[in-house]
Amino acid sequence: MVVRLPGRVLDALMAAPALAGITEGQLRVRAAEGEIVGADGTPVDLDATVVRPIPVYLHRDPPTEPDVPFEMPILHIDDDIVVVDKPPFLATMPRGAHVVQTALVRLRRELGSDGVAPAHRLDRLTSGVLLFTRRREVRAPYQELFAARRVHKEYRAVAAHDERLTAGVRVENRIVKTAGELRARVVPGEVNAISDIALIADRGDGTGDYRLIPQTGRTHQLRLHMAGLGVPIVGDPLYPTVDPELAGAPDAGDFSRPLCLTAELLAFTDPLSGEHREFRSRRTGWVPS
């Protein structure tokens, strides 16, 4: 941040939006421990009068993250890749308030390697098959595989039973998601989101199992398409409308109502060996049978 005239360094830090909620006492403790420094790395005097704009650096405390109480089994591991069965509520990689409770951090700690990197991503609420590379040298070919959409993906979802969807339907529209907004939305314009959706089983409780095959990869695409068909996925806090209580439950330590969407299958031709690879989740929609 940049401290601007007039006033003390402390006054400017206390007014900084990025430090909302931090107290003067906490800042003084950090300053005393040498954690608040200038551009040259030397400690800054919080009571000094600012005579010119200066950069001031400090690390914010990591957010408090409730432990996600689900295991992340390894489905496959070799010298190049590791494939896991990610549980819901676990982000793929650190972002925002989710740092430690991420698949990447868990896997790096389990394997004792900082070379592990995701080849693609799953939403935090989505469970299922997630592929990581193990060495920097092989990272690009696998990431390109996903970027070029040369991977066949199938998802399973649980939603209200709708017999009309037994034969399957293709949904095609345009989806946009603006940075800072929780939800994606359908807008007029050229199609950029295509999903094939079919009811494949009756669960006997008013819900059904659906097979979802995305032909494109827009953010929240499958969730938005299911809601648009009138069968929103069980446990979805955003679609068709925002449920603040459900959306905030995981951050309060309540993991009892997961989104019932699982990345069930990944299949592709390996970019290094040329062999066919296929990995399948062992999860079943995260709804009790």
Q: Which residues pair with 196 in a beta bridge?
A: 170, 213
Structure tokens at 117: 């990197």
Residue 80 appears among annotated catalytic residues: no
Decide the pairing of beta strands 261-269 and 127-133.
Answer: parallel
Q: Which residues pair with 262 in a beta bridge?
A: 127, 156
CA separation (Å) from 16 to 4, 6, 179?
Answer: 11, 14, 22
Among 11, 123, 162, 251, the one annotated catalytic: 123
Spell out the long-range contacts of 102-109 with Cβ–Cβ below 8 A and sequence spacing 24 or more.
103/72, 103/130, 103/132, 104/132, 106/72, 107/72, 107/82, 107/132
Letter string b/e over residues 183-215, b meaning 16 or more CB atoms within 10 A of that residue's CB: bbeeeeeeeebbbebebeeeeeeebbbbbbbbe
- Taking alpha carbons only, the member of 161, 252, 253 closest to residue 210 is 161
Give yes or no for a cis peptide into 250 (omega within 30° of 0).
Answer: no
- What is d(CA 193, CA 216) in angstroms, rounded to the nearest whole number? 5
Place of tokens 């592990």: 116
Give yes or no for a cis peptide into 240 (omega within 30° of 0).
Answer: yes
How many CA atoms lie within 13 Å of 287's alpha carbon, on the beta-carbon side?
22
Place of tokens 């799953």: 122
Catalytic residues: 123
